[in-house]
Amino acid sequence: MKTATLVEQFQDQGFVVVADVLDPVEDLQPLIDDYAAELDNLASRWWDEGALTNQYADLPFGKRLIAVIQEAGLPYSQHFDISLPLGGITPTTPIHLSAAVFGLLRNSRLLDAVEAIIGPEIYSNPIQHVRIKPPEQLLGASQREGLTTKTGWHQDQGVALPEADASDILTVWVAVTDATEENGCLCVVPRSHRGDLITHCRDKQIPDSLVGTDPVPVPLRQGSALLMHRRTQHSSLPNRSDDIRWSFDLRYQPLDQPTGRPMFPGFVVRSQRDPGTILSDYRVWREMWLQARTQLSRGEMPTFSRWTGQEPVCA
């Protein structure tokens, strides 16, 4: 898609699909191999702890993940996530901080699309996640949470603190596997970004009565990305297939704007003005997150949400 068309559609609709922005072999295979190794580590650990009778090493990644979590019946998403949770952080809370993930955050083709929307001075916002979603009917009660099941209607501005209301934060939702209506692709409300931030209840979801009209599903091919405005209303469908749906949701913004989650570390990924500020060493990024984990585990947890759950519409 030409840059002018990309920008025009984004400004008009509040979202735009950038098809095939990542190459399945060059860009995605290192991530897939990296996560396969992490799953191997998790299966081995649960085997040692007696939670598994089989490590299912002969299965491909998606089928193996399903088999492992079904038998173990244990929460799994935080072992793969690229951010810390919003509560209960300890010195050993899992977080996946690999060179492959850092490479995705800095991918030049992805950043070219981001630059078309927000300009060349780009900061990686730390509100970021990986979502590896099995078929929902196969999840146990302890495995059902925001990163593993369908996502309710929300605006990404609503999950950031008010300090970032004026920050030009761009959501970049990357499909590692094909995202279809059957396996749980996103749905968006076109042009909903033109309105204000809507009240979210304590579960960080917009009440059904306040969701905009005429939502549309947005299926994506593997390696494609959905770029969304921070106030675009969106949700996801449940995974009703027989395999995983795998995506990353990343966020970027211009430099020198609040991130909406100041206790988590971001970094400069692109700058024409001052190239020397760009972070290129994944070990530094990893250490920033580990230091944040240590600090947050030592004291009272800060407030992560602007919503109290007592707003009138949430009653």
Is residue 108 within 8 Å of 269, Cβ to Cβ?
no
Per residue in 199-252, pLDDT (tens digit) is 999 777 999 899 999 999 999 999 999 999 999 999 999 999 999 999 999 999
- Please report the pLDDT score of residue 304 as a whole number: 86
Query: What is the pLDDT averaged over residues 134-163?
Result: 95
Q: Are 117 and 181 in contact (CB under 8 A)?
A: no
pLDDT tens-place string over residues 28-72? 999 999 999 999 999 999 999 999 999 999 999 999 999 999 999
Q: Which domains does the chain have, with CATH numbers?
A: 8-300 (2.60.120.620)
pLDDT at 222: 98
CA 45, 132, 96, 160 torsion-angle sign:
negative
**Cβ atoms 261, 302 nearer than 8 A:** no
Nearest to 118 by CA among 266, 267, 251: 251
- Lookup: tokens for 168: 């030009």
Mean pLDDT confidence for 108-117: 97
Compute the average pLDDT of residues 272-288: 98
Pull the structure tokens for residue 205: 């979801």
Q: What is the pLDDT of residue 15?
A: 98
Q: Return the structure tokens found at 298.
A: 């030592």
Tens digit of each residue's pLDDT (9 = 90 or more) over 80-89: 999 999 999 9
What single DSSP character describes residue 266? -
